[in-house]
Amino acid sequence: MRKIPGAWIIAACALLVGALSPFAPVSTPAVEKDRPFSIEAVLSAPFPSNLIAAPRGDRVAWVFNAQGRRNVWVADGPDFRARQVTNYTEDDGQELSQLAFSPDASVIVYVRGGPPNREGEIPNPTSDPRGARQLIMAVRLEDGKTWEIAEGSNPQVSPRGDLV
C-alpha cells in the first residue's frame, strides 16, 4: 500500500472544505471591484465603544469615533434611534471614556482625555502648547449642554445624582 504524504492530505482537505464552505469566495459585483481601496478609508471607519445601559428605563449610551471625531451618542427604547449628544467637531485625538449615567438617566458623565503615563503626563496628541488635561465632563441629554466637572478620572455618580 502506498502512503500519501501528510501535506497532500492537508491540502486536499483544505480544498474540499473551501469548495463546500458557505464562506467560499463568491464573485463580487463590478462596482466593488472598481472602488479603490485606501488606507484612509480603513483608518477612518466608524468605531463604537464604551456601551453602557441606564440604571432605569430603556436608554443606552456609547462613544462613537467617526473619522477621529469622538462623541457620546444615546438611544432610547423601544425603537433605539441613535442621536449624538456631544458636539466635538475636530479630530483632536482626545479619548472619551468611562461613561456613567445619573440615577434618573438624564445626565451622562464621562472622561475626556487619556490616562497619564508613568511620569504623570496626559497624552497631548495634537501637541497643543497649552498642554492637555484629563477631565470629568457631563452632558445633559435633554438639550446637549456639556460642562466640566473636574480634572480626573473614574467618575462615580452618587445614588441621589447630586454628586460626582
Is the pLDDT confidence value at 1 over 70?
no
Helices (H) and strands (E) in the chain, counts: 3, 8
**Does residue 14 surpass a pLDDT of 70?**
no
**pLDDT tens, 88-143?**
999 999 999 999 999 999 999 999 999 999 999 999 999 999 989 999 999 999 99
Q: Which pLDDT score is estimated for 57? A: 86
**Is residue 72 a part of any domain in this protein?**
yes
Total count of domains within the chain: 1
- Judge whether 11 lies within some domain: no
Name the strand (E) or helix (H) holding 101. strand 96-101
Residues 6+ apart with CB under 8 A from 25: none
Is 66 strand, coil or helix? strand
If 0-12 CB within 10 Å is exposed, 13-18 middle and 19+ buried, where does residue 103 land?
A: middle
Asked, for residue 74, whether it belongs to a domain, the answer is yes
pLDDT per residue over 74-96, tens digit each?
A: 999 999 999 999 999 999 999 99
Residue 8 pLDDT greater than 50, yes or no: no
- In 3D space, the residue among 128, 134, 130 whose CA is nearest the CA of residue 150 turns out to be 134
Q: Is the pLDDT of residue 155 over 50?
A: yes
Question: What is the domain range of residue 121?
Answer: 45-151
